Amino acid sequence: MIKKTMAVLVGAAMLSTFSVFAEPAKSAKQAKGATEYRQALLTLVKSNVGALGAMNKGVIPFNAETLQTNALRIEQLSLMLEDYFATDTSGFNIETAALDKIWSSQSDFNDKISALTAAAVNLNKVAKAGDESQFKPAIGQVFKSCKGCHDKYKAD
């Protein structure tokens, strides 16, 4: 009884310590679905950076509230990326810009995800503090983290 409880506890601890392991898609249908979901997630990410880019270029004035809202959303969406990339679709001929090496370089790929999370957390913090001189570098860091991953893992 005690042994069994321990085993369950250890199992649970391992699950929370080690991140998601990639699993190959089992069918073309599953690969296509997984691709659509991850693209939808990244489309949502994109929908939250438009305002950031416009503020960065001075097209619209800085708005600390919008920055906080969007930074929080980007953070939350970034936390879903690992899960949504956990299905390895490289074995199927589907329309995707995701490069196969994502699934052979998982820890590096996950580092790129973490860079986005960290940049979003920082932007939220900076926006809360309200010092406008810090807004641009914090926004820049978010865009840098997109590029950091796209350059390596996304086809043009």
Choose the stretch contacting ligand HEC; rule: CB under 6 A; options: 4-12, 33-41, 58-66, 126-134.
33-41
Ramachandran angles phi, psi of 59, nearest 5°:
-70, -35
Q: Is 138 in the site for ligand HEC (CB under 6 A)?
A: no
* Residue type present at position 120: A
Distance in angstroms (rounded) separating the CA atoms of residues 149 and 7: 37
Residue nearer to ligand HEC on the CB measure, 20 or 49: 49
Min separation Cβ 71 and ligand HEC, Å? 10
Tell me how far apart the 2 most distant CA atoms of the chain are, in Å.
65
Min separation Cβ 72 and ligand HEC, Å? 13
Choose the stretch contacting ligand HEC; rule: CB under 6 A; options: 4-12, 20-28, 40-48, 128-136.
40-48
Q: Is 97 in the site for ligand HEC (CB under 6 A)?
A: yes
Q: Is 124 in the site for ligand HEC (CB under 6 A)?
A: no
Burial class, 150, CB count within 10 angstroms (exposed 0-12 / middle 13-18 / buried 19+): middle
Number of C-alpha atoms within 13 angstroms, CB side, residue 123?
A: 35
Q: Which of 49, 51, 86, 118 binds ligand HEC (CB under 6 A)?
A: 49
Number of C-alpha atoms within 13 angstroms, CB side, residue 49?
A: 22
Q: Is 34 in the site for ligand HEC (CB under 6 A)?
A: no
